[in-house]
Amino acid sequence: MVQILLAYGDYTVYVADTVNSIGNPKTGTLDISSSVTNVNDGWNLVGNPYAAHLSWDALFSSASQVGSTIMIFDEVLGDYETFSTGSGVEIAPHQGFWIQSTGTASFAFTEAVKTTTNTSLFKNSKHDLFSLTVRKNNSSVNLSSTTKFNFNSEASIRYTRSEDVSFKKVPHHLAPVLASYSTDGTLLRINSFSPGNNINIPLQFICAEEGDHTISLNNIDFASIQGYNCIRLVDRKTGTETDLLNVNEYVFTALKTDDAGRFVLKLSKENDCPENSPENQVVFGNTTGGVNVIFDTEIVYPATVSITNLIGQAVAEIKQTSSVGTYHLSTANLVAGIYLVNVSVNDKSYTHKLVVQ
């Protein structure tokens, strides 16, 4: 018996039973380029059409405008696991997996990508980067969510598909969400950034099942090699900081009404994490029908939020708020066009381009 995630068009089907394949095995070339789209986040669900394992390295080398990282559901982790080129991963017969288009993609299955592997293993549990995983304690389902961090001195602080991997939620109503933000508000499963001395990374956490949860730390050596000797998880709801280097996990109680910006990860190369490192930050996240302004300040300051057109004219009421958690701005009353979201907090100004369609 095997446990697999099969791909059929726009749907995924989780199977935990004996799978019988009946009919003539698929052979030859199958070009699915026309079905691979670049809309929204660019993720496309595809499946191995062959009754044979295939090499992701070989498949990627023959493709174009496709990201080098794929995602496969792993029932042991209860989440998508990521596999990049160079890892030697092989994709089992009929296995569903996600690829990310970076443009007008060329993507085809050919006989040349097949391997001689005959194992029944459909995935390979692993955490290959410094990461955080959240899981509901004593849940009725085995589901988790992991956000990873890749230290790259050449990486941009903004979201770049060639460096980062955007977040896609497991499509189950009890699956939690834990992701990090890029500086332009994109949710990330893999966040690549230059390893500076002091870094604050705002996280998004969404509770799907109320009760006690655990956030655990994985592969701490990846951070230690970069010189980080202070790794703390800030819980804004309780006002506490947990030294993850000493305890490796944080247990907390979560409600569905909790602010999505409840947690911040602090990394420092100093012996003690500075009280206010780095400078106050504001992160923007586009949503359906609006934009989230996510405050990442250790001290609560008065804040002003406004929306203007490109020539600086206010198109919505100027809002007075505080630099706490997440503030949502609705764009329901705006006509299609390009606008600027302006935030002022603690004598600093932040601007975000907003496209309303």
The tens digit of pLDDT for each residue in 56-76 reads 999 999 999 999 999 999 988
103 and 23 together in one domain: yes
Question: Which residue, of 268, 298, 315, is where some domain finishes?
Answer: 268
Q: Which amino acid makes up residue 310?
A: L
Give pLDDT, residue 292. 86
243 and 349 together in one domain: no
Pairwise pLDDT comparison (144 vs 94), residue with the higher score: 144
Residue 306 has pLDDT above 60, yes or no: yes
The tens digit of pLDDT for each residue in 193-207 reads 888 888 888 899 999
Pairwise pLDDT comparison (254 vs 220), residue with the higher score: 254
Residue 20 has pLDDT above 90, yes or no: no
Pairwise pLDDT comparison (244 vs 357), residue with the higher score: 244
297 and 185 together in one domain: no
Residue 350 has pLDDT above 90, yes or no: no
Pairwise pLDDT comparison (15 vs 315), residue with the higher score: 315
pLDDT confidence bin for 174, thresholds 50/70/90: very high
Give pLDDT, residue 140. 93
Query: For residue 154, is it left (φ>0), alpha (ψ between -120 and 50) or beta?
Result: alpha
Task: Report DSSP state, residue 34.
Answer: G
Burial classification of residue 121, based on how many CB atoms lie within 10 Å of its CB (0-12 exposed, 13-18 middle, 19 or more buried):
exposed
Tokens of 201: 């990374």
Are residues 59 and 109 in contact, defined by beta-carbon separation less than 8 angstroms? yes
Domain that holds residue 141: 130-268
Residue 123 included in any domain: no
Residue 276 included in any domain: no
Q: What is the CATH number of the domain that holds 330?
A: 2.60.40.3080
Task: Report DSSP state, residue 95.
Answer: B
Question: Which residue, of 243, 268, 293, is where some domain finishes?
Answer: 268
324 and 233 together in one domain: no
> Mean pLDDT: which of 47-51, 120-124, 267-271, 327-331 is highest?
47-51
Residue 120 included in any domain: no
Across the chain, what does the average pLDDT equal?
Answer: 84
Give pLDDT, residue 146. 96
CA distance readout (Å), 128 to 25, 53, 150, 235: 34, 22, 10, 26
Are residues 237 and 258 in contact, defined by beta-carbon separation less than 8 angstroms? yes
89 and 140 together in one domain: no
Question: Which residue, of 47, 82, 113, is where some domain finishes?
Answer: 113
Report the share of the chain in percent with pLDDT over 70: 86
- Provide the number of structural domains found in the chain: 3
d(CA 134, CA 222): 19
Residue 119 included in any domain: no
